Chain A
Amino acid sequence: DAGVIQSPRHEVTEMGQEVTLRCKPISGHNSLFWYRQTMMRGLELLIYFNNNVPIDDSGMPEDRFSAKMPNASFSTLKIQPSEPRDSAVYFCASSLAGVGGNTIYFGEGSWLTVV
């Protein structure tokens, strides 16, 4: 079975440009998460959706970040305008909520560098 699929795997962009990260969750999963990982802060939750509805976006840094989930098989995380401090690895993850302890499965990440 395919796992969580993210694209692009690597992106280098200039400050001020728009960045769009994409995610396809595991088929049948109903919760989707966006995490950001940096050396300083580790893994931090940005936002999560349940049944395509945003449940908790308290981790979204500021208005420059937005996330959408138009259907059960696709989500985007957009940064506009991008800044050098946004450089990090962005992980998408999914789970089947309500089953046991909510095991969350991660994609391979999108490595973003803003110069």
Chain B
Amino acid sequence: EDQVTQSPEALRLQEGESSSLNCSYTVSGLRGLFWYRQDPGKGPEFLFTLYSAGEEKEKERLKATLTKKESFLHITAPKPEDSATYLCAVTRGSQGNLIFGKGTKLSVKP
């Protein structure tokens, strides 16, 4: 069965304290791995797509990496405005839909 597991469930950081979020997956025929950010009361907002092991993408303080079994979202020198829930999702084969993990809730304190 296809599965996406995110850890930790919640993470509290001080402003400027770098860390990483993990997304491990078991899926046959991975087509793409996606990272989304979700703020309270809002829909998920697209951040990155990764397609193959070794690929990396960056956006401001965020960098996403992908291996054959997991992806990391690295947050460098976070700010309070980075506080949100970060969701990981995969698509496989010919299926167009996303299979989501349950997310990591990040809180960054000033």
Contacts and interface: CB of A to CB of B under 8 A. Distances in A.
Whether both chains belong to one complex is answered with yes
Interface of A: 4, 31, 33, 42-45, 48, 50, 55-56, 91, 93, 95, 97, 100-109
A42 B49 contact: no
Contacts, number: 59
Nearest to B4: A42
B110 interface: no
Contacts of B96: 31, 48, 50, 55, 95, 97, 102
B46 to A, nearest CB: 6
Contacts of A48: 96-97
Contacts of A102: 31-32, 91, 96
Nearest to A39: B102
A107 B38 CA distance: 11
Contact of A42 (B43, B95, B100): B100
B91 A91 contact: no
Nearest to B51: A101
Interface in B68-89: 87, 89
